[in-house]
Amino acid sequence: MTDAAPTAAQSWKVTLPCTRAEAEALDGDIAAFALMNSPPVLMTSEAAPDDENAWRLDAYFEGEPSPAAIKLLRTLVPSAAGAKPLIEQLPDEDWVTLSQQGLEPVTAGRFHVRNLAADPERSGHINFLIEASRAFGTGQHETTAGCLLMLDRMRRIGMRFGNVADVGTGTGLLAFAALHLWPRAYATASDIDPVAVDISAQNAAANRIPLGRGQGQLALYTAAGVDHPAIATRAPYDLLIANILAGPLIELAPSLCALVDEGGTILLAGLLQEQADAVLTAYRTQGMRLAERSDRGDWPTLRLRKRPAIGWKRPRRIDRQARGEAPGFGSL
C-alpha cells in the first residue's frame, strides 16, 4: 500500500464573542469535542483593549464545521446565545500554526517545552523548542504533557529501555523525550501525515536530535499506524508510545502489542476517562496488564506491561492478514 496520507481537508475558523470568565473556563481540553475524529483547536483572546470583560473564542476546524459542531461550540459560551458566529474558510496549512502562536511554555517533570524561540530556557530542565507548526504535539495538550510526566516518572523509578517506538509522533516531541532519558536506545517514530514527519525532522534538527537508524538516533517513517516494513523490522520494542485517539488505539491493539517484546511497556494516551475501560479491554486481550495510570483532568495516561509467554497462556499475536494501520489518525 502507499504511505501517503489522505488529502487534507480545507481549514475553517468559527469566531464567537465571550466573557473573560467563559474564556478562563475553557482553559484545557473540551471532552465533548474530543469524541470527534478531528476535534477543533480552541483559542481565546481579548477582543477590546478598553473592555477587560470582552473576549472572543476562535475555533479552528479541519473541514467545514457542521451545524451540530457550531451548536456545541455555542454551549461553551452562553453569553453569545444571540450572536451570529463568524465562519471563515482559511488558507491551506495555516490554521494549526495560527492557533498555536503565542502559547505559554509547558513544564512537565524534568521537561520544559517552548513554542517560541524568544522564550527563555529553564535552568535544570531538559529544554525543547517545538515551534508552532502544521502538526500537533507542542506539549500544550493534556495528553502530551501526561506522557512527558509518565516518561519522567518511569526514568525516576529506574526503568531502562533500549528500543523505543513512538506511533503517531506529531511533532516528534515524545520520541525526543525518550531519547533524552535513554540516550543509548534505538528510536523509531512514525506518523500517517508526511507533513508531520517532515516537521519532526525539522524539530529534531532544532533540538539536536540525531536522525538515523543507529543507537542514540531517531528513525522517522510515514506510515498508517505501524504499516511500514521498517517499523516491523526494527521490532521488538521494549517501549512503545501511542498518543492518538481511543478508536485507533483499540483498532491497532493487536498490531501494537505484536511489536512489543515480552515484558515490554506500552504507553497509551489520547483517550478520555470514559473510554479507558474499552481501551484496556482491547489490550488485556492481547496479553497486556495495567501497571500504572495517571489522569490529568479528563485525560488518562496508561502504562501497560506485556505479560511473559508461559505455555498455553501465551499472548495472542497479530493476525497475519492484519496490516497494522488505522487510516486517518495521527498524534494529538
**Cα torsion through 40, 175, 151, 143, rounded to 10:** 0
| Residue 203 marked in a binding site | no
| Residue 97 marked in a binding site | no
User: Alpha helices, DSSP H only, in the chain?
Assistant: 20-25, 31-34, 67-76, 95-100, 142-156, 173-181, 194-206, 229-233, 246-251, 253-258, 276-284
SS3 call for 46: strand
User: Alpha helices, DSSP H only, in 252-332?
Assistant: 253-258, 276-284
Q: Answer yes or no: are the C-beta atoms of 241 and 267 closer than 8 Å.
A: yes
| Residue 144 marked in a binding site | yes
SS3 call for 152: helix
| Residue 162 marked in a binding site | no
For residue 211, what is the DSSP state?
B
Amino acid at 199: I
User: Hunting for cell 455555542 — which residue is that?
Assistant: 74
Per the annotation, binding residues for S-adenosyl-L-methionine are 144, 168, 191, 243
Per the annotation, binding residues are 144, 168, 191, 243
